[in-house]
Amino acid sequence: MTDSIPITPTRAFRTTLRPPGSKSLTNRALLLAALADGESALDHPLNADDTRCMIAALDALGFQPRAHDGGANITITGAGGTIPVRSAQLNLGNAGTAMRPLAAACGLGHGVYELDGVARMRQRPIGELVDPLRELGANVQYISKPGYPPIRVCGGQFTGSALRMQPTQSSQFISALLMIGPCLLDGLTIEFDGPVTSRPYVEMTCALMQQFGAEVSVDDAFTRIVVAPGGYRAIEYDVEPDASSASYFLAAAAVVSNGGASKCTIDGLGFRSLQGDVWFADRVLQPMGASVLYEPDSVTVMSPPVGERLSGIDIDMNEMPDMALTLAAVAVLADGPTVIRNVGNLRVKETDRLAALQTELTKLGADVRIDHDNLHITPPPGGNITPAAIDTYDDHRIAMSFTIVGLATYGVTINNPRCVDKTYPTFFDDIAQLVGTAAQDD
């Protein structure tokens, strides 16, 4: 792929597709399988940079994951809540869903493990995970800058079983702690003083842990989670399509109405999904004016009638922070301003996503303002998008989100499109297929 790719606007389209497996579920399931007793099999796992980082790390830790049928299935034999090797150096790239859970899991071993990543990973805070790990008795050391990777974990030190936590910058810190809970001698109880950041991701973690046989109970107010000791059991698990990846095609269906109404159905992803982002269509696109239909294992979005645009929205996106980028791209095409609230944790993702959104949306002619943890977007007058080359900051979600704008209007080019390899290597192939299908239908 070239250093940049122009996005071809499409006429109205109708398509049904199944995006690759969920990154969040794949990496969680890989780790839980490694901690379980017996051999687990994962069907339809994501094959992308972030999951390859996790697989390589688990291999270095002695679990020997094995891919079958070109990666369509992965088997892994768990070690019953411990780490097979006594030393390892893990390079986790920029994969937060690998760095954070493995930082906790390495404490279950009986050796010394060093975890590092790319330059951006060394800028992503990890202190809010290290501190509670130390409170549980773990020996975790900063190798360079306090509060940030790289870190050294000396295993075999866990003694505690209870934590009281303030709101964290990332839900991944909480998920990392929960996933080792069944492997601790007395289990784990976490009480929360304040709201849980990106709560649906924590709920996803709890639900997946239960599928692997863990006993997890959560109070109605989501202020206390109790994980019983007893470990995990091996299972066969079919990974859902990635709801975040699906959002780009659903959003495109909501905004593209040139020549008729667009319609997109995502197979394998419906109201039975474990992923909180599956509700993006219901809670964001539908209030803006799109038509939405949920089935047990599918979701469909259709654009408003020809000649009508989506309306701007004022919405708290703390529970779906990754979807804030998809919404931002839709907002620049909407009629009226949009306010995306309570997304301060976007600053510590693959890039500072708040700053990146402000810069790139402004290129397109929008008026964009950051107010504390809120993003205010006013579309260009008359909906007239200014042609622009979008810088992606090596952030897959910037690239995929701004592609939505290019599908609806002329002049959008995506720089460094290869950054989508992090979670969706075939994204632009699927976009080209969508455009080609629409052209044939015309």
Taking the C-alpha atoms of residue 286 and residue 289, their distance in angstroms, rounded to an integer, is: 5
Instruction: Name 237's bridge partners.
Output: 42
Residues of the chain with pLDDT under 70: 1, 439-442
Question: 361 with 333, same domain?
Answer: yes
Dihedral angle sign, alpha carbons of residues 326, 328, 331, 333: negative
Confirm whether 255 is domain-assigned.
Answer: yes
Q: Choose among 249, 243, 294, 304: nearest CA to 271.
A: 294
pLDDT digits over 184-210, tens only? Answer: 999 999 999 999 999 999 999 999 999
The single residue listed with the structure tokens 């796992």 is 45
DSSP summary character for residue 147: T
Q: What is the pLDDT of residue 441?
A: 44
Question: 260 with 181, same domain?
Answer: no
Instruction: Name 165's bridge partners.
Output: 192
Taking the C-alpha atoms of residue 393 and residue 355, their distance in angstroms, rounded to an integer, is: 11
Taking the C-alpha atoms of residue 88 and residue 112, their distance in angstroms, rounded to an integer, is: 7
Which of 163, 193, 225 lies at the terminal end of a domain, its last residue?
A: 225
**Domain carrying residue 212:** 23-225
Q: What is the pLDDT of residue 305?
A: 86
Instruction: Name 227's bridge partners.
Output: 188, 216
pLDDT digits over 372-394, tens only? Answer: 999 999 999 988 999 999 999 99
Confirm whether 231 is domain-assigned.
Answer: no
Confirm whether 230 is domain-assigned.
Answer: no
Catalytic positions are 322
Question: 255 with 219, same domain?
Answer: no
Cα angle 254-256-261, degrees, rounded to a multiple of 5 = 80
408 Cβ neighbours under 8 A, 6+ residues apart: 9, 252, 255, 256, 258, 333
3-state secondary structure of 152: strand
Confirm whether 232 is domain-assigned.
Answer: no
Number of separate domains in the chain:
2
DSSP summary character for residue 325: H
Alpha helices in 106-198 (DSSP H): 127-135, 171-180
The verdict on pTM exceeding 0.95 is no
Question: 52 with 128, same domain?
Answer: yes
Which of 184, 200, 225 lies at the terminal end of a domain, its last residue?
A: 225
Confirm whether 212 is domain-assigned.
Answer: yes
Q: CB of 399 within 8 A of CB of 351?
A: no
CA atoms within 13 A on the CB side of 435: 17
Confirm whether 325 is domain-assigned.
Answer: yes
Q: What is the pLDDT of residue 260?
A: 87
Question: 130 with 267, same domain?
Answer: no
Taking the C-alpha atoms of residue 227 and residue 209, their distance in angstroms, rounded to an integer, is: 10
Question: 296 with 201, same domain?
Answer: no
Question: 67 with 11, same domain?
Answer: no
Question: 270 with 328, same domain?
Answer: yes
Question: 283 with 257, same domain?
Answer: yes
Which of 171, 199, 225 lies at the terminal end of a domain, its last residue?
A: 225
Confirm whether 124 is domain-assigned.
Answer: yes
Taking the C-alpha atoms of residue 12 and residue 215, their distance in angstroms, rounded to an integer, is: 48
Confirm whether 235 is domain-assigned.
Answer: no
Question: 39 with 174, same domain?
Answer: yes
Q: What is the pLDDT of residue 287?
A: 98
Question: 256 with 179, same domain?
Answer: no
The single residue listed with the structure tokens 């000396």 is 154
Give the CATH number for residue 370.
Answer: 3.65.10.10
Question: 179 with 259, same domain?
Answer: no
